[in-house]
Structure 1
Amino acid sequence: MDLRAMLQKLDTAIKTVYKTTKKEYKDPLQGILYDITPVTGAVNNIVTLNSVPGMREFKSERKHGVADNTVHTIAPRKWESTLDVEREKIEDDDLGQIPNQTRVMTTKSGRHYGALAVAALPVGFTANLSDGKPFFHADRGNLIPGAFSAGTFSKAFDALVGMKDADGDFINPIPTHLIVGQENREEAEKILLREKLDNGQSNTNYKRVELIVDPRIAGKAAFLVAAKEGMCPLTIAERVKVGAPVAKTDINSDRAFETDVFSWGLRGRYDAAYQAMQFIVTVKGS
């Protein structure tokens, strides 16, 4: 058995599966709720969050990290995901699940940008930005109180199309998408997908915007977005894009000697940041 040759073959297979899976997956909220901004350093109004599934924050070693829910100027954090393969599985050619595990790792890393953006939404009600107010605030015109309904949807629509710039001039954003979680799915479908109301009259909100139901969004809040204005409400500040898995397969390394484990890891540096509050209005819910 040539262990080095088997490791090289496995490395090629893992990277091929990663490349194929990476092309297949696109987060449904990318280009709508968030876009991606390459950055070279610190970023204003960046969001640090904990308990976001997928990639894990990279601390002093590859393990779970913890960050406070705060908003301030920092450099994008490091994230990692690691696939370990025991030496015995390679020696016994017991590698049937490795491609599937690679697909899962790759898909989760692809979802991580969206997971960070979704996790930033509830923080936007409470954490102050550099101007001393949360991202969603009545003074910004992007916060509608009350339960989500046809009435509050109309108020959100009017608030979004009525947005003004810092000089008080109308910017006329066009609402394109309503984003809700499972708790608001039924009400959102009633508002947007019925041609007729219960009284038989035409539904003026019928397909007025596109509905996105994303199970990652918890609670009763709903978010109306103008997604064709040149930038999205949130962005992923991307310092280092997640690249192909890096192999740790040196059979003479101390780790291989002590643990009989070889690893393939993903790494990136990025974080969610608030970007364009004038292109989103939320109905907070109750």
Structure 2
Amino acid sequence: MIVNQQALRGIFTGFKTIFAKAFDETKPLYDRVATVVPSVTGEENYKWLGTIPMMREWIGDRQIKSLTASDYTIKNKDFEVTVGVPRNDIEDDRVGLYTPAIQSLGQSAALHPDELVFVLLPGGFTNKCYDGLPFFSDAHKVGKKTFSNKGTAKLSPESYAAARAAIMSVTDEHGKPLKIVPDLLVVGPALETEARKILLADQIDGTTNILKGTAEPLVVPDLAGNDSMWFLLCTKKPIKPLIYQERQKPKFVSLTNETDENVFMRKEFLYGADSRGNSGYAFWQMAYGSDGTAQ
């Protein structure tokens, strides 16, 4: 193949099509647990976190529900993935060899939000949320009450039921129930069998399983290595427990001009994708986490 700008434009178009197809066909999991929030600047401040408005009987003047100032900020980061194609392979019509690599670029770009979002769950035992405490903590203050969304019990029907009750018992600062009902049990591969048994089995140890259908199991490969941890979430509210902040969707780009350093010095054409964004915590009230360390 004669390497000129026309040929390179054709290669770019072909690679971009392959990238887009792989991206679209890949199904990530992050949007099951995180609200996607568009970002328009380098960072976003979530001052509105901390207050969940509730309806009341209208007697007298309206009671203005001021949003608690939490000063919780998520800063966007830059991300990229790049592959190099030697000029010789283009001259020798070996471009087709790179189809799997470009497909992998598309899959990697599509799944990257999973990496950003699901790392928040095991990190939630130490990383702070809007109230200045770890996302999973036994000392969350709401009005005069203190609530815990943190456990140490291993996953079992009993610990699952306790976690479910803890989430549904959370109230606002006036003691009014928030009506939060968990619907998703998130585990790594090591706890898949136990999670499915609790939520899908008709019987457990010969006894009717009264917990069947109370939530859906979600097995997340990104949680591999955190084998004893498990997380119960409410994902049916307008705001989910976690946030994926999207500044720029993955964009396919290239560096193929003859005067580019990579081409001139190394005879290599570069193709890749880049994006901007980050992740963070929303309402701790909608999540319960256990590190499973109890003996």
Same fold (TM over 0.5): yes
Which TM-score bucket, shorter chain as reference?
0.7 to 0.9
Aligned to 2:143: none
SS across alignment from 1:242: strand
Q: Which moved more, 1:265-274 or 1:184-193?
A: 184-193
Aligned to 2:56: none
Q: Distance in 2 between matches of 1:272 and 1:189?
A: 28
Q: Distance in 1 between matches of 2:286 and 2:175?
A: 15
The count of residues paired between Structure 1 and Structure 2 equals 258
Q: Distance in 1 between matches of 2:172 and 2:103?
A: 44
SS across alignment from 2:191: helix
Q: Distance in 1 between matches of 2:264 and 2:2?
A: 17
Residue 159 of structure 1 is aligned with which of 155, 158, 166?
A: 166
Contact persistence 1:144–1:155 (CA under 8 A): no
1:1-286 equivalences in 2 (<5 Å) = 1-4=1-4, 5-30=6-31, 32-41=32-41, 42-44=43-45, 73=73, 75-129=75-129, 131-140=131-140, 141-198=148-205, 200-217=206-223, 218-243=226-251, 245-286=252-293
Q: Distance in 1 between matches of 2:184 and 2:261?
A: 53
SS across alignment from 1:138: coil
CA offset digits 1:7-39 (Å, max 9, x no partner) = 122101111111212221221232x21121111
**Shift of residue 174 of structure 1?**
2.2
Are residues 44 and 120 of structure 1, via their aligned partners in 2, closer, same or farther at CA, if it must alter by over 3 Å?
A: farther
Q: Tell me which structure has the larger Cα radius of gyration.
A: 2
Q: Distance in 1 between matches of 2:188 and 2:45?
A: 28
CA offset digits 1:80-134 (Å, max 9, x no partner) = 1112111011000112232211111111111111111111112210123453310
Alignment-mate amino acid for residue 18 of structure 2: V
TM-score by length of 1: 0.84
Q: Distance in 2 between matches of 1:74 and 1:279?
A: 19
CA offset digits 1:187-212 (Å, max 9, x no partner) = 212212210122x3311011221111
**Shift of residue 178 of structure 1?**
0.6
TM-score by length of 2: 0.82
Alignment-mate amino acid for residue 132 of structure 1: G
**Shift of residue 163 of structure 1?**
2.2
Alignment-mate amino acid for residue 207 of structure 2: Q
Are residues 166 and 271 of structure 1, via their aligned partners in 2, closer, same or farther at CA, if it must alter by over 3 Å?
A: farther
Q: How many percent identity over aligned positions?
A: 28
SS across alignment from 1:128: coil
Alignment-mate amino acid for residue 237 of structure 2: E
Are residues 28 and 283 of structure 1, via their aligned partners in 2, closer, same or farther at CA, if it must alter by over 3 Å?
A: same
CA offset digits 1:198-255 (Å, max 9, x no partner) = 2x33110112211111121123111111111111111111122212x11111123333
Alignment-mate amino acid for residue 157 of structure 1: R
Contact persistence 1:153–1:283 (CA under 8 A): no
Q: Distance in 2 between matches of 1:130 and 1:191?
A: 32
Contact persistence 1:152–1:283 (CA under 8 A): no
SS across alignment from 2:235: coil
Structure 1 gap segments, 5+ residues each = 46-71
Structure 2 gap segments, 5+ residues each = 47-71, 141-147
CA offset digits 1:14-66 (Å, max 9, x no partner) = 11111212221221232x21121111232358xxxxxxxxxxxxxxxxxxxxx
SS across alignment from 1:110: helix
Q: Distance in 2 between matches of 1:232 and 1:170?
A: 18
Q: Distance in 1 between matches of 2:245 and 2:173?
A: 24
Alignment-mate amino acid for residue 19 of structure 1: A
Q: Distance in 2 between matches of 1:74 and 1:272?
A: 7
SS across alignment from 2:19: helix
